[in-house]
Amino acid sequence: MAPVLSSQLPRWKKYLGLLLAAAVLGALLSFGLNSWRSSSPGQTGAGGATTVNNRSSRAFSQPAPGLSAAEFDQHAEGDANFEAVFVTAPAQVNPGLGPLFNNAACVGCHIKDGRGMPEPGQSLVRVSLPMGEVNPAMGVVPVPEIGVQIRDRAVYGHVPDARMAMDWQTQVGQYPDGRAYELRSPRLKLTQADPEKPLPDDMLTSLRVPPPIFGSGLLEVVPEVAILDQADPDDRNQDGISGRPNRVWDPGAQAEALGRFGFKANTVSLEVQTAVAYFNDMGVTNPVFTGGQASPDVDQKTLDTTTFYVQTLGVPARTLRDNPQVQRGERLFAQVSCTACHVATLKTGPADIPVLANQTIHPYTDLLLHDMGGGLADNRPDFDASGSEWRTAPLWGLGLVQTVLPYAGYLHDGRARTIEEAVLWHDGEAAESKAQFMALGERDRAALLQFLNSL
Ligand code: HEC
Ligand code: HEC
């Protein structure tokens, strides 16, 4: 065929090139603008390069931008694993549930990758004994016949560890300016279900709601020294705030290591957290926790892919940054020393997954343990964490919690119905900071809460 001369082309085709060039230019511009936006510190880029501009009810379920095609495929496969509902073996797909379990799917607890409700089936009860020999791999004294967690469901023909129920106790308080508030806390009721599994009278219990999981891939690659640098176990700077790392067991390396995940930072990595979840929460054996099986229910590839999914979820961008109230709230947040624990900025180090490496992030946590006082205490030590210590909760995405799951609660057991209630529960090392928050005028408190809602 003879080459077609430009002058012979129909008119619209002449403009095609021009249109294409304009489209490419537009895309480049908006890409440039977005990456500029998400890299300005303290601004939208909560999760550095993994920041997503999404404030919808799906905000916690977005893949991090910038994954390669192969990484995106692995993320999608991990997403399917996270949603997979396990069933009793033998079965064609996802066999291996139980015999005892709490829920049949990751997503059954971490709803839309966010929180779960303080209800049986979604919340967990960790258990141990106050005296006896600490199991070095578990960090506690396990309960005979039960272990370290109550599995309140069982497959056909088996009996759960115990039955779980709860109700709420309320208490009232007052701000210095006279405004009243009401707080509630859960009262857990466990009853024996299996005649062979008595519940010891002195059994320690700790109720936990599923936390959101996005952003944890970034927290995993914050260099250990950066975390330890913030610790002040003997409170040398005398601000009343110590901050201690938890030293826990790494089942992969068979050695002690820094704990990062879970409400008491008792888990070393996301692979281990995922493996523990399969094993304890779902009764699904895997290469890390084989339960003595020669061929575990899920293989290494499934474990890796599910872990990869957790690691590569995006972090939602902040909103209303230009709002003067929000800006005022942000200054007050620092002024009343919330930032002594909820550290605004951390930097990640090297990482196998390129989008996670060397990022400036704004998680609002120091990943350390703090004594939060008697009201929040579970009185159940966990490795080095005492019965009143908790890991500083990350605050990114806080304002989206109830967009993703209406009525979801805050704090480790979901007791706080609002962000304000969560702040009012602070005590112990945070007592002074809370007192300063309470002493602010109504408008300043509202500004601070509006800032938290913009995260
Ligand atoms: C029965 C409910 C339940 C199921 C099922 C469940 N989780 Fe969790 N998950 C929790 C709770 C509760 C915690 C907090 C644990 C603690 O502090 O002791 C948690 C913690 C986590 C964390 C740590 C988050 C952080 O920031 O510390 C990750 C990651 C996680 N789960 C991933 C998974 C994956 C992956 C699966 C499926 C393989 C899964 N979970 C299944 C309830 C559940
Ligand atoms: C001494 C350290 C410390 C200080 C100071 C502190 N916090 Fe916290 N904060 C924590 C810890 C630890 C938790 C988790 C407690 C739990 O789950 O029981 C937490 C939890 C929270 C939560 C709930 C988050 C969630 O996801 O459930 C909010 C909101 C919060 N803090 C806001 C504040 C504000 C506002 C201030 C300042 C007035 C403040 N914090 C001061 C340590 C601190």
Q: Mind giving me the DSSP string for 145-163? A: TTBSEE--EE-TT---SEE
Q: Residue 310's pLDDT is what?
A: 98
What pLDDT is attached to residue 12? Answer: 45
Decide: 307 in ligand 1 pocket, CB within 6 A.
Answer: no
- Determine the distance separating the centroid of ligand 2 and the alpha carbon of 310, expressed in angstroms: 23
The span from the CA of 152 to the CA of 147, in Å, is 13
Q: Angle CA(181)–CA(182)–CA(184) in degrees, nearest 5?
A: 150
Residue 276, CA distances (Å) to 118, 269, 287, 412, 427 in order: 20, 11, 11, 18, 31
Give me the half-sphere count of Cα atoms (radius 13 Å) on the Cβ side of residue 217. 28
For residue 393, report the distance from its CA to the centre of ligand 2, in Å.
6
3-state helix, strand, coil in the chain (%, to 5): 35, 20, 50
Whose Cα sits closest to atom 6 in ligand 2?
Answer: 338
Find the 341 Cα to ligand 2 centroid distance in Å.
8
Q: Which one of 244, 341, 410 would you pick to mutate in the ligand 2 pocket, going by the greatest count of ligand atoms within 8 A of its CB?
A: 341
Strand partners, 247: 258
DSSP, collapsed to helix, strand or coil, labels residue 347 as strand
- The Cα 407–Cα 402 span in angstroms is 6
Is the C-beta atom of 103 inside 6 A of ligand 1? yes
Nearest CA to ligand 2 atom 10: 392
CB 104 within 8 A of CB 80: no
Break the chain into its structural domains and give their ranges: 43-453
Q: Is the CB of 50 under 6 A from ligand 1?
A: no
CB 417 within 8 A of CB 423: no
Helix runs in 313-441, H state only: 324-335, 401-404, 419-424, 431-439
103, 115, 213: residue to mutate for ligand 1 pocket, most atoms within 8 A of CB: 213
pLDDT for the residue numbered 187? 96
pLDDT < 50 stretches in the chain: 1-10, 12-14, 16, 18-20, 24-43
Q: Contact 127/139 with Cβ under 8 angstroms? A: no
The pTM assigned to this predicted structure is 0.91
User: 335: CA distance to ligand 1 center in Å?
Assistant: 33
pLDDT number for residue 89: 86
The CA-based dihedral angle spanning residues 138, 142, 145, 149, taken in that order and rounded to the nearest 10 degrees = -70
Q: Between β-strands 153-154 and 204-208, what pairing exists: parallel, antiparallel or unpaired?
A: unpaired
Q: Give ligand 2 pocket residues (Cβ under 6 A).
A: 241, 263, 336-338, 340-342, 370, 372, 376, 390, 392-393, 410-412, 419, 422-423, 426, 429-430, 433-434, 437, 452
Distance 366 CA to ligand 2 centre (A): 11
Q: How far is the CA of 326 from the centre of ligand 1 (A)?
A: 32
Ligand nearest to the CA of 232: 2
**Number of neighbours of residue 373 by Cβ within 10 angstroms:** 16
pLDDT of residue 90: 87
Q: What H or E segment, with its residue span, contains residue 315?
A: strand 315-316
Instruction: Look at residue 107 in the predicted model and tell me its pLDDT.
Output: 97
Question: Distance of alpha carbon 288 from its chain centroid, rounded?
Answer: 21
Long-range contacts of range 137-141, CB-CB < 8 Å, 24 or more positions apart? 137/249, 137/251, 138/249, 139/248, 139/249, 139/266, 139/382, 139/383, 140/380, 140/381, 140/382, 140/383
Going from the Cα of 100 to the center of ligand 1, the distance in angstroms, rounded, reads 17
Q: Which atom of ligand 2 is nearest to the CA of 436?
A: 38
For residue 167, give the nearest of 415, 355, 452 by alpha carbon: 415
How many CA atoms does the CB half-sphere of 24 hold within 13 Å? 6
- Other Cβ atoms closer than 10 A to 91: 11
For every residue of 170-237, DSSP letters joined together read EEEEE-TTS-EEEEEEEEEEEEE--TT----TT-EEEEEPPPP-TTHHHHHTS-HHHHHHH--TT-TT
